[in-house]
Structure 1
Amino acid sequence: MAKPAAPSQQIPAQTLEQFAHFFRYLNGEKMASAHTYAAYERDLWLLAQYAQQKDLHTLTAQDIRSFVRQIASKGLSGRSIARALSAWRMFYRIMIRDFHWPLNPVEGVKAPKSSKPLPGTLNSDDAVGFLENMPDDDALDARDKAMFELAYSSGLRVSELVGLKLIELDLPQGLASVTGKGNKTRVVPIGHAAQESLRHWLTIRPEYARGQVATVFVSKKGGKLTTRAVQLRLQHWQQQLGINEPLYPHKLRHSCASHLLQSSGDLRAVQELLGHASIATTQVYTHLDFQHLANVYDQAHPRAKNK
């Protein structure tokens, strides 16, 4: 593997020798892939950049934390900083092992947490408009409409959608028994519009279902539907109906949760509907709800507008 090119600023010769030793370790003992090698290479040059002319064996945990703050201030994500810290930590472990350096200043230093992006949602008018504009004239259209009505109505994951069995549907009661993550089962309500679309699809389904396939939704060839097929069908309808923003199955689930929380404010009920093991997972929707409140406030409050 070629020797890595040093960054533009002057690096002490001693540091270059230490890096070369570590790169030999990556090539020899660790037998790192080209991708791993390149990542370690970038992260070590980053360490040299922030250390400047300091001898690396003299750096302290306080120095490393200072570097992390500087890197974070330049907009590097928490995940990227964590990767850099991992590379630095490994470098120091090899230096301690092979050259008896006194300490590893990176041990115990953690990367700042990256803020999680809020899940994408449709507003309630767009969600209703999308579903109402979907036709159900032929079998494939009827299946898709029932599928996406149910996803939005009951907040199902795409895996739950394709795995739902006929015996788990109770349309007279408007309920479905859903198996989610960790094989945990929960009962979810099915809205009126989704019930109607499901009834229509179930009158057509016997003509297409092959053999003893047990799932509610089947493929064009009559077998079990895949999650990828659902994603592609949603993209198809996005294009057919001229919807500008991207559509994907989880957006329907997020939209369901967000709209329920905006209307009811009942976080625990939304947690039960979505099948979240921890309410902390559901709390992301309180941020979405706050965004909605903030937008309404900005538009409506007489003291919120700039003069």
Structure 2
Amino acid sequence: MTEARIGRVAGIYLDHLAVEKGRSKNTIEAYRRDLDRYLEWLTAQGIEAVDAITPDVVEAYRADLTRGWGGHPPLSAASVARMVSAIRGLHKFAHAEGHAGTDPLIDAPPVNLPTRLPKAITVDEVAALLEAARFGDGPIPLRDTALLEFLYGTGARITEAVTCAIDDLDLTAGAVTLTGKGGKTRTVPLGNYAVEAIEAYLVRARPGLNPTDAGLFRNKRGGRLSRQGAWAVLKDVAERAGLSADISPHTLRHSYATHLLDGGADIRAVQELLGHTSVVTTQVYTLVTVDRLREVYATSHPRARR
């Protein structure tokens, strides 16, 4: 077998993820960044051949990620686990496709991290956020209100929201078709508040933003609102509402799921609404609601405390 260079194999692997696995552009870029750092470290060690990478080499890299190296700061356990996961996928692919004689991580156990509960804000905080979005004149407050009502009203991922087209909406039925990971689509309901906000935006605001295509949410120049633009909208509105600076579009998705379960929704229904392939992914939200029930019990039951 011809000795393969790790840099070339990494490029083939990224093409495989994009073309054959259908991973999104954002996912591919995340993998590219993680693998570029791995390749940088291997080059510094004088390692170029795939078959020169042993379990000890990967462990040494993991240790350097943890303590920092070459001007890179130390990474958290979660970031290290993510990078090792990218490396695991690369070496598994290299071995399966015949670019390497062995897989140095084939016997390595997966990194188990403590379960991190998703962050959610309260119903009152959501109301404050949406009220703050309405502040001001012109088309932008109407767009911002529609965007945030859409995110909270559907539990959509930020990419699903900014790639949504007008044709994906059925405002009469109160529903929208979202395109999620891997190009999978699902139709979810839109609540009355979201429908009203979107209708107001479409009639009174979107035409004034000079839209250049059928994308739903527009920026000030008429193009599609980007992921970064949507983040900026939420950051600005959260600041005006006096809420925590670490609120993200995903916070609204977490809040959507948590509030549904708090209200008695079936976990399987929430799984479908969120577009999770496995209910195991959705079950993390049940931990949040159990914690809340525990708090209620501790403060309300006469024999909860001594």
Question: What TM-score comes out, normalization by structure 1 length?
Answer: 0.66
Give the distance between the partners of 1:129 and 1:77, measured in 2 at CA.
Answer: 34
Matched, 1:187 2:187: yes
Report how far residue 190 of structure 1 moved: 0.5
Matched, 1:40 2:60: yes
1:26 is aligned to 45
Matches within 5 A, 1:263-282: 263-282=263-282
Q: For 1:21-51, what per-residue CA distance to the aligned partner results, in whole angstroms no more than 9, with x for missing partners?
A: xx9993265699xxxx99827849x9xxxxx
Give the distance between the partners of 2:263 and 2:208, measured in 1 at CA.
Answer: 40
2:129 is aligned to 130
1:114 is aligned to 113
Matched, 1:208 2:227: no
2:239 is aligned to 239
Greater RCO structure (CA 8 Å; 6+ sep): 2
Against the structure 1 CA distance between its residues 42 and 280, is the aligned structure 2 distance closer, same or farther, given a 3 Å change threshold? closer
Query: Any conservation in 2 of the 1:208–1:221 contact (CA below 8 Å)?
Result: yes
Give the distance between the partners of 2:77 and 2:250, measured in 1 at CA.
Answer: 24
Amino acid at match of 1:206: P
Q: For 1:239-295, what per-residue CA distance to the aligned partner results, in whole angstroms no more than 9, with x for missing partners?
A: 122213521100001100110011124001101111111111111111111111111
Report how far residue 126 of structure 1 moved: 1.2
Between structure 1 and structure 2, the one with the greater Rg is 1
User: Percent of aligned positions with the same letter in both sequences?
Assistant: 35
Give the distance between the partners of 2:62 and 2:267, measured in 1 at CA.
Answer: 44
Matches within 5 A, 1:251-290: 251-290=251-290
Amino acid at match of 1:209: N
Helix, strand or coil for the counterpart of 2:188?
Answer: strand
Q: For 1:103-132, what per-residue CA distance to the aligned partner results, in whole angstroms no more than 9, with x for missing partners?
A: xxx983525511231111101221122213
Report how far residue 297 of structure 1 moved: 1.1
Q: Which moved more, 1:273-282 or 1:202-211?
A: 202-211
Query: Any conservation in 2 of the 1:178–1:186 contact (CA below 8 Å)?
Result: yes
Helix, strand or coil for the counterpart of 2:156?
Answer: coil
Amino acid at match of 2:278: S
Question: What TM-score comes out, normalization by structure 2 length?
Answer: 0.66
Query: Any conservation in 2 of the 1:152–1:252 contact (CA below 8 Å)?
Result: yes
Against the structure 1 CA distance between its residues 38 and 147, is the aligned structure 2 distance closer, same or farther, given a 3 Å change threshold? same
2:295 is aligned to 295
Give the distance between the partners of 1:230 and 1:153, measured in 2 at CA.
Answer: 16
Matched length: 231
Please list every run of 5 or more consecutive structure 2 residues that lacks an aligned counterpart in the other structure. Answer: 1-41, 67-75, 88-104
Give the distance between the partners of 1:285 and 1:179, measured in 2 at CA.
Answer: 22
Report how far residue 179 of structure 1 moved: 1.0
Helix, strand or coil for the counterpart of 1:293?
Answer: helix
Against the structure 1 CA distance between its residues 26 and 171, is the aligned structure 2 distance closer, same or farther, given a 3 Å change threshold? same
Helix, strand or coil for the counterpart of 1:141?
Answer: helix
Give the distance between the partners of 1:191 and 1:141, measured in 2 at CA.
Answer: 19
Give the distance between the partners of 2:179 and 2:106, measured in 1 at CA.
Answer: 42
Give the distance between the partners of 2:260 and 2:123, measured in 1 at CA.
Answer: 10
Report how far residue 138 of structure 1 moved: 2.0
- Give RMSD over aligned pairs: 3.4
1:172 is aligned to 172
Helix, strand or coil for the counterpart of 2:217?
Answer: coil
Matches within 5 A, 1:26-105: 26-27=45-46, 40=60, 43=63, 77=77
Report how far residue 148 of structure 1 moved: 0.4
